Amino acid sequence: MEMKENEILEEKIDQYLKGSMTDQEREAFDSQIENDAELRREVELQRSIIWAVRKEQLGKIIQNEEANIRKKTNIRKLVIYFGSIAVAASLSGVFYLGYLNNCESISNRYYQSYTYTPIPSRGDEVSALTQSDSIFFEALHHLENGQKKLAITQLESLNNSSAEMLAATNDAVKWYLSLAYLKNGQKKRAKTLLHEIVNRANSEYKTKSEDLLKEL
């Protein structure tokens, strides 16, 4: 019975890493990974094995093509050369997709919907949200629905902006923008923002940013 369960788990991990799960299945598995350290280690182990195998395959392909190029005529060399480039480019695309999936998986584990509790300004009146607040929440909506580039554009317009915001702080903008960058595979930009947050002593996202930086 335990062996059957292990086989099912291995199949799920394989589907997860190949990106063949539905959005609902992926979200459920992401949640399972977040709450199960052993499962998280197994997923990372399988991911590293896949990368190692693909890297070895790419190396053998390139070596074989180089050997063939040396044996053929000049015309034949060109044909094989461009063919090897196409193969390498294809495999590079696979590697990049794996990289994106890894970045997105990490981002999803740290992402939590932003909670805003309005504070009455006087009496029972609640101050109306500003236009910048509306852009902020709209950007998060786009991010949650997979529209990463649109979310990034909107959050970038708010980052370090002097526009008034009642619902979110500048650090909140930086935090969600860093997650958007990471989700889009822009790890370097994400790390830059996370360092900015960490360097702010009283930031509410300081601890989360430190933890995320350790993973990157």
Higher per-residue pLDDT: 25 or 51:
25
Q: Which two tokens stand for residue 29?
A: 């598995």
pLDDT-derived band at 94 (thresholds 50, 70, 90) equals very low
Domain around 102: 2-110
Q: CA 185, CA 195: separation in Å to the nearest integer?
A: 17
- Of the three residues 110, 134, 150, the one that is the final residue of a domain is 110
Does 126 score more than 80 pLDDT? no
Number of H helices and number of E strands within the chain? 9, 2
- Of the three residues 110, 132, 166, the one that is the final residue of a domain is 110
Backbone region of residue 146 per phi and psi (left: phi > 0; alpha: psi in -120 to 50; beta: other values): left
Q: CA 154, CA 141: separation in Å to the nearest integer?
A: 11
Please enumerate, as own/partner, the contacts of 75-81 that have beta carbons within 8 Å and a separation of 24 or more. Answer: none
The upper half-sphere exposure of residue 122, i.e. CA atoms within 13 Å in the direction of its Cβ, equals 0
Q: Which of 59-63, 66-70, 82-86, 136-140 shows the lowest mean pLDDT across its residues?
A: 82-86
Does 62 score more than 70 pLDDT? no
Nearest partner of 173 among 188, 200, 185, 16, judged by Cα: 200
Q: Which two tokens stand for residue 150?
A: 């649109």
Higher per-residue pLDDT: 53 or 42:
42
- Of the three residues 110, 128, 159, the one that is the final residue of a domain is 110
CATH label of the domain that carries residue 210: 1.25.40.10
